[in-house]
Structure 1
């Protein structure tokens, strides 16, 4: 070979090498060979010094320092490693690296005597949680782009649902082929949003959706689905996934519950070590656990990325998450990408002989991250989560500025097809109808029918059929006029009422209401400004009430929020009340006879302070999350004696709710209620014991299961309800997961002048009332939503009955998981 040819080949090889490493960059994407899905956080080592990096949340990688590259080695837990020599890097097809799954079991890991080396790393991560937790920063702000698609993933459906069908056979099914061709062209559903968030320590945050797009809909409430699926960071003791809570593998004491294994080690260009550590629950450990892989960076011993999913599915939805963190300002680790994958086991799509579950794939990308900037309280406002009025009308220029990547042909086709379907079938109108139904109303033109008024029941009235109608915003926005009519079969009386409501400011929760009614209420009962939510069992107690007082009159109330998490209601009322129990008020007045009617003129202030609730403002409606604690409720009432009122008095009441969730004992609920009357009032304006006893009834939370209805009467009292819900921590099998609760309740009270209350039987609570019980919830589960169980309570102490059998109460428990 001549020297010229050798020289030409040398120049050509140098040229090829330069072209291969143009701009000193090697880039590509790692995918799962079996399903083509992107693989995030794959470890990539590129020289003998074990220097390397990991793929991002979309499986992409970028290497800038090409001169350091000697080879590419890709590794990930549960997959066969891939080794690419330097001279073969350029032949990676379209920059794609494919990895193949292999079995990986804890049984295959050899555990040597002594401390697990992974524990030293995990313990350092636990020690640095406050240092690395974004919610411990003084402030932060960012802009986020959210995208969620719904489709059908055959492989994941089979793997998670236990389907043993042969994939090859499915591919031969003509209907399955058509479905695959359809899904190759478009998704089932697609939604996007752009939000701006501000945070100020401790716990004050506000997020505004500035742009939203939902295939088939203009109504913005759907964007909540993509934004509320997982904890924002991986540093709290309990991690929330799709509203279920799991013990964090990097929480204190986690090394006693989780098995950790160092599966890989790489080094960054700045000299930090990155440990890949797999985690899963230890054998014979019973708790709500996760499994996955943590990538821990030794700079501040922080989470660099995490992949996690529950060990056990709840049977309704399967969920898996991915989070990636980056150093901001070379000092603070902060989430930059969050992925969520949902598998809807409760929904089935059929294609020929095959059945598949829909899946949802959500991705969130954060940018414009600013840490420890000055953010004042007033900069955030009173709303936690708000959708801008013009969010669904934003131009393409805004979307192009925030989208992480341009829309794919599948995305574009999805919008085109589903938007046309939405317009043709008026999906926005149907969604609004469904929302109205969910609130308990049936919309008929400009009227809403109140479902709760159609049929009701309590012991005093028996069955109570009726109807309630209210105008909706189709007639007049922000004004509603309505009324109701009902009849009690047991007491043989008609009840009715009318009301007029004005929404003065939806965002400020400001309303004015006018009411007139001829109805009844529980004698000696009390209510606070609270809504326990759909999952609460407290409302069952209403069915057992057997002593009620009739009333007729009117009231005016004004509701508003003076502070961010403080709700208030001011009311003025005038009612005439009477009772048919044979009671008479013995205050020396000769006109006081059984069934005597008395006038009550009263003004009341009700307060509800819920510092941890989340407020959503969407489509001109303020929505609050239920069940947050702590919660404090207070009532202050003043009665006036004049031509409109027969009594001069004060009534004050308070209620405190506390709830904690611990890793070893489950959920602890404490409810303390107290009240006091200053002045002389008929018994039905005092306080009963808040009982719920019948021979065999449904269990009712925060009431006395063994106390007879209206057995006790007080003008001042305090009650304590303590419930320890162990969940399935004490006992669980694969198919049987009962939840065990221990309950203890006590009450103290007094009645200053019992001789005033004549014609009725009652006891007083000076000696203290005590009861304890045990509940076995979810012995039977229906559709993974309704749980049936059994419980028994026992009454003891000064007010225990001489006959031991009478101290027991047996309860059927009925719970809902919505």
Structure 2
């Protein structure tokens, strides 16, 4: 009898277990079906896709504050900060969108802090393929990829409301970093639109974002009306600075403390929503228009009609304390100094000292030291005067430049410049006129360059922004060229070691995928877009101002960078150069070699370049026709600690070229690249204090007989304040 009883119990248990599994599977299948329907109906339910045009005003209030963990009482701290801003958002089909900042309140700042307007703290729409939270990107739960990487669970259906909805919970299926969101979606039972979305993320930060929607009956549409974000760092990796990591104000950083915690809250409310009768927008490259020059004080009655409720006592205290602290510590000036330093300048009153000219070293000049800089807007917003004076201690010669630039038209950034330069230049170098300025404490390649030419150059330059994403430049110059090496150019039965060049250069930079903001300071690209295409044409005229040669140079460069959602980055640089006519070697092309002409690997140990061939020796190759490709793939940083985040980078570089009339270049020997040059390697960057290690190996048609001659080992340096 007991055996029969046990058998029956065992049998019913198995059947019951199977029935529960079946029920759970049915529920999960229902959840997946509802989410699939929501995904199918995005074009109908997402306002950006379903409406011809709409607009609204958006009021945002952000608070970073230290408080008691238990009582939630505000704790005074230099990190505490509060800010507000109001903007008008206008959307139109064909992805035409414009945000106009109407007012802002940044306590302690004389002017609005414009960079914050371009920051994406979190995504505005739950329907996007990717959801952004601070600096991280995640698969959106209502995306094609989201359907695969998240597990959906059916909670229940709420029917006792005017618009019944399903509650669906979603969780990560795996530990994929880009799928670490979880939360709840309220899905309309009829239209499958989102009525409410709650998202949570708990790695390094504890965050909750809630998207609220309201139903607009005429349009039969759930439209977003409010979002709330609440963040608390769980460790040092969860820190987030509003104004930069070196600025205490607005810095949400983790601190081990049993009694207190820091939080960041951002509330955004949508007001004056118009879904019809909206004025049409013209397609403009400007994404954000922020031309207000003053802040609206927190106590101003202006804010009363936009705030959901008046600022409470703690918030008013935050605003008052932040205003006093930032002014007392001169934070606004400190932020500018950090920005200028990263560009290579140090402001001293009305003069920006150019850090590039303080100390350098190369094999021709030896130690090169001096001073340079340019006046800034404190002297005048309409012109600047600059230049430099340096001395090489090996060649015992002074070099200098005197320059002036005049702002012709602020709206189009039209600038007329004139300069006189007496200096040396690397043979075969080719710098685009519109290339962005870069600065590093250790100048890559410069230490090892041996082949220079002297020049005295008069030039005038006209720079003009045709549109925010299309910039043009015209330069006219007259140069006298002298050699520092025993090089002779034989042309038309005449030998030249000294010659004159009269050149016209025109350059264009097209960056169609960038995002642009217009402020009182001008138009800037606040989010760099790729690809970026630059073209430059150089024409040298013979017998114009006693010029000796006629030649044409055409240069095309494509920069592309792919930011993968898994935090890996692929960078591709394609470049083509073509020279036609009587081109002296000084104005031909090299492929940016960066290997010193020394015997051993250790003797060649130096600084790795940013875009150079590390195994190619200086002076080894020159070209009048050249094509090159540089590919870098940077893996996600290894997070060892908040300060120790080394990066592993794979590198592959290739070049092919040719040289016309090589026999005309005398007293110098060099090779050509018609067989194709290849090198590959890796970098481990930011190992300690910005220093890292680089390794490259030369292979293919120009592989050298001695094995170690094909190897490059150098250090890298990546540092920014």
TM range (shorter): 0.7 to 0.9
Alignment of 1:755-770 (within 5 A): 755-770=663-678
Is the Cα–Cα contact under 8 Å of residues 672 and 719 in structure 1 kept in the other structure? yes
Any idea what the Cα deviations from partners look like across 1:657-709, whole Å, max 9, x if unmatched?
A: 22334457943332211011121111121110222335334443443232223
Alignment of 1:739-778 (within 5 A): 739-777=647-685
1:336 and 2:250 aligned: no
Counterpart Cα distance in 2 of 1:215 and 1:348: 17
1:804 and 2:707 aligned: yes
Is the Cα–Cα contact under 8 Å of residues 360 and 369 in structure 2 kept in the other structure? yes
Return closer, same or farther for 1:251/1:804 CA change in 2, 3 Å cut-off.
farther
Is the Cα–Cα contact under 8 Å of residues 118 and 526 in structure 2 kept in the other structure? no
Alignment of 1:428-467 (within 5 A): 435-437=339-341, 439-467=343-371
Alignment of 1:393-408 (within 5 A): 396=300, 398-408=302-312
Is the Cα–Cα contact under 8 Å of residues 459 and 543 in structure 1 kept in the other structure? yes
Return closer, same or farther for 1:545/1:290 CA change in 2, 3 Å cut-off.
farther
Counterpart Cα distance in 1 of 2:720 and 2:385: 34
1:521 and 2:435 aligned: no
Counterpart Cα distance in 1 of 2:225 and 2:256: 42
Counterpart Cα distance in 2 of 1:201 and 1:542: 50
The alignment's TM-score, normalised by the length of structure 2, stands at: 0.82
What is the aligned partner in structure 1 of residue 58 from structure 2? 144
Return closer, same or farther for 1:491/1:419 CA change in 2, 3 Å cut-off.
same
Is the Cα–Cα contact under 8 Å of residues 532 and 626 in structure 1 kept in the other structure? no
Q: How many pairs align?
A: 672
Any idea what the Cα deviations from partners look like across 1:460-500, whole Å, max 9, x if unmatched?
A: 44432221132222222321112211123344332111111
Is the Cα–Cα contact under 8 Å of residues 200 and 377 in structure 1 kept in the other structure? yes
What is the aligned partner in structure 2 of residue 40 from structure 1? none
Is the Cα–Cα contact under 8 Å of residues 532 and 627 in structure 1 kept in the other structure? no
What is the aligned partner in structure 1 of residue 512 from structure 2? 611
Task: Please state how far the C-alpha of 1:459 moved relative to its aligned partner.
Answer: 4.6
Moved more, 498-507 or 690-699: 690-699
What is the aligned partner in structure 1 of residue 547 from structure 2? 645
Unaligned 5+ segments in structure 1 are 1-108, 156-166, 172-178
Is the Cα–Cα contact under 8 Å of residues 631 and 657 in structure 1 kept in the other structure? yes
Instruction: Classify the secondary structure of the residue corresponding to 2:614.
Output: coil
Is the Cα–Cα contact under 8 Å of residues 507 and 617 in structure 1 kept in the other structure? no
Is the Cα–Cα contact under 8 Å of residues 210 and 387 in structure 1 kept in the other structure? yes
What is the aligned partner in structure 2 of residue 7 from structure 1? none
Determine which of 206, 211, 228 is the counterpart of 1:323: 211
Task: Please state how far the C-alpha of 1:603 moved relative to its aligned partner.
Answer: 1.3
Task: Please state how far the C-alpha of 1:363 moved relative to its aligned partner.
Answer: 1.9
Task: Please state how far the C-alpha of 1:813 moved relative to its aligned partner.
Answer: 4.2
1:120 and 2:33 aligned: yes
What is the aligned partner in structure 1 of residue 187 from structure 2? 297
Determine which of 476, 479, 490 is the counterpart of 2:380: 476
Instruction: Classify the secondary structure of the residue corresponding to 1:689.
Output: coil
Counterpart Cα distance in 1 of 2:704 and 2:444: 26
What is the aligned partner in structure 2 of residue 550 from structure 1? 454
What is the aligned partner in structure 1 of residue 628 from structure 2? 719
Return closer, same or farther for 1:431/1:689 CA change in 2, 3 Å cut-off.
closer
Determine which of 225, 230, 247 is the counterpart of 2:122: 230
What is the aligned partner in structure 2 of residue 385 from structure 1? 288
1:631 and 2:532 aligned: yes
Counterpart Cα distance in 1 of 2:480 and 2:575: 28
Any idea what the Cα deviations from partners look like across 1:481-534, whole Å, max 9, x if unmatched?
A: 122111233443321111111223334222221111112222211223555687
Is the Cα–Cα contact under 8 Å of residues 698 and 711 in structure 2 kept in the other structure? yes
Counterpart Cα distance in 2 of 1:624 and 1:571: 24
Is the Cα–Cα contact under 8 Å of residues 535 and 816 in structure 1 kept in the other structure? no
Counterpart Cα distance in 1 of 2:263 and 2:673: 57
Return closer, same or farther for 1:225/1:582 CA change in 2, 3 Å cut-off.
same
Is the Cα–Cα contact under 8 Å of residues 706 and 809 in structure 1 kept in the other structure? yes
Unaligned 5+ segments in structure 2 are 1-20, 240-250, 597-603
Counterpart Cα distance in 2 of 1:696 and 1:551: 31
Determine which of 512, 524, 534 is the counterpart of 2:416: 512
Counterpart Cα distance in 2 of 1:229 and 1:522: 44
Return closer, same or farther for 1:423/1:256 CA change in 2, 3 Å cut-off.
closer
Any idea what the Cα deviations from partners look like across 1:400-429, whole Å, max 9, x if unmatched?
A: 232232222333334444445556666655
Instruction: Classify the secondary structure of the residue corresponding to 1:706.
Output: strand
1:681 and 2:578 aligned: no
Coordinate RMSD, CA, aligned: 3.8
Task: Please state how far the C-alpha of 1:715 moved relative to its aligned partner.
Answer: 0.9
Determine which of 644, 656, 660 is the counterpart of 2:558: 656
Return closer, same or farther for 1:257/1:726 CA change in 2, 3 Å cut-off.
farther
Task: Please state how far the C-alpha of 1:538 moved relative to its aligned partner.
Answer: 12
Counterpart Cα distance in 2 of 1:256 and 1:815: 38
Is the Cα–Cα contact under 8 Å of residues 419 and 459 in structure 2 kept in the other structure? yes
What is the aligned partner in structure 2 of residue 795 from structure 1? 698
What is the aligned partner in structure 1 of residue 4 from structure 2? none
The alignment's TM-score, normalised by the length of structure 1, stands at: 0.73
Counterpart Cα distance in 1 of 2:320 and 2:566: 51
Counterpart Cα distance in 2 of 1:135 and 1:244: 23
Counterpart Cα distance in 1 of 2:615 and 2:595: 5
Any idea what the Cα deviations from partners look like across 1:118-167, whole Å, max 9, x if unmatched?
A: 43344444444455455546544321112112211454xxxxxxxxxxx7
Any idea what the Cα deviations from partners look like across 1:764-784, whole Å, max 9, x if unmatched?
A: 111111222234445x366xx
1:241 and 2:129 aligned: no
Instruction: Classify the secondary structure of the residue corresponding to 1:335.
Output: strand
Task: Please state how far the C-alpha of 1:584 moved relative to its aligned partner.
Answer: 0.9
What is the aligned partner in structure 2 of residue 208 from structure 1? 100
Alignment of 1:268-307 (within 5 A): 269-280=161-172, 282=174, 285-298=175-188, 299-307=190-198
Instruction: Classify the secondary structure of the residue corresponding to 1:220.
Output: coil
Instruction: Classify the secondary structure of the residue corresponding to 2:541.
Output: strand
Any idea what the Cα deviations from partners look like across 1:238-296, whole Å, max 9, x if unmatched?
A: 333333333334433335433444445434734442323132351xx443443231314
What is the aligned partner in structure 2 of residue 189 from structure 1? 81
Is the Cα–Cα contact under 8 Å of residues 491 and 664 in structure 2 kept in the other structure? yes
What is the aligned partner in structure 1 of residue 481 from structure 2? 577
Counterpart Cα distance in 2 of 1:350 and 1:132: 39
